[in-house]
Structure 1
Amino acid sequence: MSTSNRKYKDSVFVDLFSEDEKAKENFLSLYNALHGTNLPLSSPVENIRLDNVMYMNIINDVSCLVDGKIIVLAEHQSTINENMPLRFLEYIARLYEKLQAPTDRYLRKLSKIPTPEFYVFYNGKEDYPETTVLKLSDAFITKPEQVPLELTVQVLNINTDKANKVLAACKPLEEYSLFVEEVRTQTQLDSENGFTNAVKICIEKGILREYLMRKSREVINMLVAEYDYDTDIAVQREESLRIGIQQG
């Protein structure tokens, strides 16, 4: 389902649901699980991810046009960012600008646009509810009775101990969650060989077996890049906290 040669690195999540040769099948499985539908593999799905450069060239968003909707998915393995609604607002504005013909906004007749939906899949180590909703209006300094602009983000905790129903309905997402947990376990046991060991063990257990057998080296490289990103973020947060304490 890939549409371009990108210079930045995808996460494993993005590769699985947006870029891999079986990404369309995986994405439709997830879409159907979220909507209680049964769209067939023949359904049109257009990858509309923005060619933007994110922090440290790591991208973790999936954006697809399907069934009259823009579906934007993101994965979080760290603390949930409560500013996600604002970030998604900026993101969807750029997507609409990309999708619409420049002249459409000046037409007198109403120009129809795809309905946006936003989802964040959380599989971090902190305790977080099975499902929650983040709202743009929660960030407003003042909030009138009639909110003039709203954007909601559904946050789904996909750690397997939460038994989120979307996992039971989407095998690729369930196996991805099991894969992340195995990576976490193996890197704690062996920081040097943890990624390689996790891939081997998952293949043996039948977790993302076909995908990992095809792309084991690529997956390990993606995991290394994600680890470097997370480590850098953690160091920056620790440094900011230390500076804040020093400044009182």
Structure 2
Amino acid sequence: MGLRIVTVKVLNSDDSIFKMLFSDKTELLKLYNALAGTRHQNPEDLTINTLKNAVYMSLRNDVSFLIDLRLNLFEHQSTYNPNLPLRFLFYVSDLLSLITKDDNLYGEKRISLPTPGFLVFYNGQDPCPEQETLKLSASFQVSEAPPRLELIIRVLNINPGHNQKLLAACRPLADYAIYTARVQKYARFMELRSAVERAVNECISENILKDFLEKNRAEAIHVSIYEYDMERHMRQEREDSFAKGLSQGEAIGLSKGEAIGLSKGEARGLEKTSCLIRLLLADGRLHDLQKASEDPEYLKKLCEELNIA
């Protein structure tokens, strides 16, 4: 029996550079081989289908496929999103419905399912560890050990200097990381279209995604501008929400302090908050910083963890 791979695409191939690149059978097979340590050679064994559902409009960076009896869902992210496990749960449920649509769910014979795997490639501008794990159970309002339902996503940082062994094993992923890093770099001091065009021109001249960018130049520029605009918008929204949360917290703290005459307590509270912010920023723990701004109990927990009395 020959190798069988089924790729299920969420949207059209022009939704993101990642999806444009890895919707190509040859490039996707290279990525899988690098991650799994396999040496599959024939991309024509790969069959592409389409799953159409409005629920997945936000999963525009996604590529999913079945190989070696494993159902793999890959996505790229440039912003932190703690709800990825929930989104992937919705997605994999519909994928399994598609895969088993001709099976008898009420029969006595157990239906065999492919083993799922979930992977996110992170290339955003906020600090992120080399590798981390996101769990669906972290969203449950009541914690159980072990949880009765779980979905685990492995997040890999592919920014320059991270996961170099993987990038060395997969040239398309390494080139993708270089290209997106240049767009981010030039967009800091150039008009966005000019920044993208400069990154495209440089990468072509340096043989970085050369064939892909030459073949899809106009579309790649258009999609890159859209992607970066979206990333910048989401980052600004997050920063605005954090600033608003801090401002409201300070106002409430000051109001209560004045009401009971605890001016020293107010000052100490602000000092503790300031100290916590400095320590978290120094460690690059922006996720914790954001969560602390929204959850007083988590703020208290972090203060205890960092010995801020």
Which category of TM-score, normalised to the shorter sequence, fits these structures?
Answer: 0.7 to 0.9
1:160 aligned counterpart, secondary structure: coil
TM-score of the pair, normalised by structure 1: 0.86
Matched, 1:154 2:154: yes
Deviates more, 1:202-211 or 1:52-61: 52-61
Residue aligning to 1:10 = 15
Distance 2:248 2:221 in 1: 39
**Runs of 4+ residues deviating >6 angstroms:** 1-5, 54-58
CA contact (8 A) 1:9 1:58 kept: no
Deviates more, 1:96-105 or 1:165-174: 96-105
Query: Whose Rg is larger?
Result: 2
- Cα RMSD, aligned residues only: 2.8
CA contact (8 A) 2:85 2:134 kept: yes
Distance 1:94 1:3 in 2: 11
CA contact (8 A) 2:137 2:143 kept: yes
Letter in 1 for 2:82: E
Letter in 2 for 1:108: E
CA contact (8 A) 1:60 1:74 kept: yes
Aligned pairs for 1:1-248 (under 5 A) are 9-18=14-23, 23-42=24-43, 44-48=45-49, 50-53=51-54, 59-79=60-80, 81-101=81-101, 103-192=103-192, 193-238=194-239, 240-241=241-242, 245=247
Letter in 2 for 1:93: S
Distance 2:119 2:163 in 1: 17
Distance 1:161 1:99, change over 3 A: same
Deviates more, 1:220-229 or 1:9-18: 220-229
Distance 1:14 1:105 in 2: 33
Shift of 1:159: 0.9
TM-score of the pair, normalised by structure 2: 0.70
Shift of 1:221: 0.8
The structure richer in helix per residue is 2
- Deviations, residues 80-108 of structure 1 (Å, cap 9, x unaligned): x1221121111100111122125531221
Distance 2:66 2:47 in 1: 5
Distance 2:10 2:78 in 1: 26
Letter in 2 for 1:213: E
**Gaps in structure 1 of 5+ consecutive residues:** none
**Gaps in structure 2 of 5+ consecutive residues:** 1-5, 253-309
Q: Aligned pairs, how many?
A: 243
Identity level (%): 35
1:212 aligned counterpart, secondary structure: helix
Deviates more, 1:119-128 or 1:144-153: 144-153
Letter in 2 for 1:11: S
Shift of 1:137: 2.2
